[in-house]
């Protein structure tokens, strides 16, 4: 049960962040201001899904690790503080700031600068989470092969 919860919550977190990032890029590059406002004001509501998914993935990951710190597991464990700090210190405050600015229709320089920071930080988290997914699959490849 714990491995399935870990996979599911990790996938939900990854896909949520990826959807925030993709929606932002599409809206900024291809759509009008109303779409940008809709995307930017919707993202904070997505935290109701993202934050519990990240917490559950972290808790189940720690439980599955059982204190081990070496090898592939060690690499995953080293990434997690960066992912968490990036989310808590950059992505969430940026999203809240951008939602407020978009809601006011204020697409000024500060909006653009924070938007650029958010896109870079979001891409970093997508990359780091993707590496953790890849490493998790490597760790369970033997079990999946036996099951097949």
Domain ranges of the chain: 2-147
| Sequential pLDDT tens for the chain (148 residues) | 999 999 999 999 999 999 999 999 999 999 999 999 999 999 999 999 999 999 999 999 999 988 888 888 899 999 999 999 999 999 999 999 999 999 999 999 999 999 999 999 999 999 999 999 999 999 888 777 777 7
Report the CATH fold assignment for 2-147.
1.20.120
Closest CA to 7 of 143, 148, 146, 136: 136
- The pLDDT value given to residue 90: 98
- The pLDDT value given to residue 23: 98
Q: Quick one: CA dihedral 60, 63, 69, 71, positive or negative?
A: negative
Query: What's the token pair of residue 131?
Result: 């590496």
Contact 12, 52 (CB under 8 A): no
- Please tell me the pTM assigned to this model: 0.91
- The pLDDT value given to residue 140: 84
- The pLDDT value given to residue 142: 78
């Amino acid at each position: 049960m714990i491995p399935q919860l870990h996979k599911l919550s990790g996938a939900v977190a990854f896909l949520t962040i990826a959807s925030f990032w993709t929606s932002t890029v599409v809206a900024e590059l291809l759509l009008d201001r109303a779409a940008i406002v809709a995307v930017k004001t919707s993202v904070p509501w997505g935290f109701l899904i993202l934050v519990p998914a990240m917490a559950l993935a972290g808790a189940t990951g720690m439980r599955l690790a059982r204190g081990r710190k070496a090898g592939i597991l060690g690499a995953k464990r080293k990434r997690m503080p960066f992912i968490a700090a990036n989310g808590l210190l950059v992505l969430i405050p940026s999203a809240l700031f951008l939602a407020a600015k978009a809601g006011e229709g204020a697409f000024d320089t500060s909006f653009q600068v924070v938007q650029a920071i958010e896109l870079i930080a979001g891409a970093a988290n997508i990359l780091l989470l993707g590496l953790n997914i890849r490493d998790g699959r490597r760790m369970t490849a033997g079990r999946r092969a036996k099951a097949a």
